[in-house]
Structures are given as C-alpha cells and as structure tokens.
Amino acid sequence: MNIAICPGSFDPITNGHLDIINRSARIFDELIVGVLVNPEKKGLFSIDERVKLIKKVVKNMPNVKVASFSGLLIDFMKERNIKVIVKGLRAVSDFEYEFQMSLMNKKLDPNIETVFMMASAMNSFLSSSSVKQVAMFGGCIEGLVPEEIIPDITQKVSEIHKNSNEP
C-alpha cells in the first residue's frame, strides 16, 4: 500500500491545506493528515480541536485519515510504515524551509522521500496565521477556510475576545 503523510499544524485548516490534501489523496492509496505540536507556534485551537476540525472537513474522503503527534515526524512515520511526506509550497520562502526539512528527514531516515506540491494560484497567499489574524479582527474568512468550520473559528475567536475582556 502506498501511504503518505501530509504534516502540519493546521491551526486552522485552510482551503490551501484542503487543496493539497485533496490532490494528494488522488495520488496515494492512503493519506494521513498529521497534526503536529509545534512549540514555536501559539495555537488558536488545541490539538484535539484541530483533529476534529480536519476530520469534519475530510469526512467524505475514505482514504484520508487524521492523527496527531508530537516529537519527530520520522518517528511517527516509522511507527506507521509511511515512506512519503507531502508538503505544499506557496512561495520560494516555503521551498527554502521545506527543502532544509526534507534534507534533515533524509539524514534521519534515508528511506523517506518528500514530495513537494505547488499551491494552486488561488490559494498561494493563504496561511493559517493570516486566517487567524483576519478572524481575530472580525474580517470575513469565507473562501479562506472550508465553510463547515467557519462557525467553529468564529466561536473560538468570540471566546478569546470574551475571556480577554474579563477583569
């Protein structure tokens, strides 16, 4: 079986992420969306919440599974006998970072391959960080994230605003 992983923080999942997931799911027999704990990023959603949001979005994709992990991606992959990493690229800056990561992963396990998939032009500007910022300032996030999770994002932002205004 040809299994790949599409790792990321997905906080929240965007239409750009979903595009890469959809396209990858057509190439591989099974695709694992790996939700990782990134200590360098302050999360809007907990890991469990992110997994739930992604599962909601990919529920009609039978060959897509969602799992969370912490630690090294390579260790997670070895546990599940996954040999391919799929990474979406938006710009040259993404390539530089992801290229370094792919070389590090190759050093840690020479049997691992990384496949880079270019973002669709309509999603090339999208990032979870920009979506969070737009949402936090009350902007419209329609067309940026899957419609079915807009209420979840709106509710989370509302809770944060409510909690930050309490004495």
Q: What is the pLDDT of residue 166?
A: 54
d(CA 55, CA 67): 9
Has 41 been annotated as catalytic? yes
**Catalytic residue from among 24, 50, 102, 128:** 128
Q: Check the annotation: does 95 bind a ligand.
A: no
Q: Check the annotation: does 126 bind a ligand.
A: yes
Has 128 been annotated as catalytic? yes
**Catalytic residue from among 56, 65, 80, 90:** 90
d(CA 46, CA 66): 15
How far from chain centre, in Å, is Cα 1?
23
d(CA 61, CA 30): 10
Q: Check the annotation: does 90 bind a ligand.
A: yes
Residue 148 is classified by DSSP as: G
Has 17 been annotated as catalytic? yes
Has 161 been annotated as catalytic? no
Q: Which residues pair with 7 in a beta bridge?
A: 34
Q: What is the pLDDT of residue 37?
A: 82
Contact of 73 with 34, CB cutoff 8 Å? yes
Q: Check the annotation: does 73 bind a ligand.
A: yes
Q: What is the pLDDT of residue 165?
A: 67
Residue 108 is classified by DSSP as: H
**Catalytic residue from among 17, 50, 132, 156:** 17
Q: What is the pLDDT along the chain (167 residues), one digit of tens a residue?
A: 899 999 999 999 999 999 999 999 999 999 999 999 877 777 899 999 999 999 999 999 999 999 999 999 999 999 999 999 999 999 887 899 999 999 999 999 999 999 999 999 898 888 999 999 999 999 999 999 999 999 999 999 998 888 876 54
Q: Check the annotation: does 127 bind a ligand.
A: yes
For residue 56, what is the enclosing H or E element?
helix 47-58
> Between the CA of residue 3 and those of 45, 86, 126, 139, 166, what are the distances in Å?
27, 10, 26, 38, 47
3-164 CATH fold: Rossmann fold (3.40.50)
Please report, for the chain, the start and end positions of each structural domain, with discontinuous segments joined by +.
Answer: 3-164
Rounded to 10 deg, the angle between the 73-80 and 92-108 helix axes is: 60
Q: Record the pTM.
A: 0.92
Q: Check the annotation: does 105 bind a ligand.
A: no
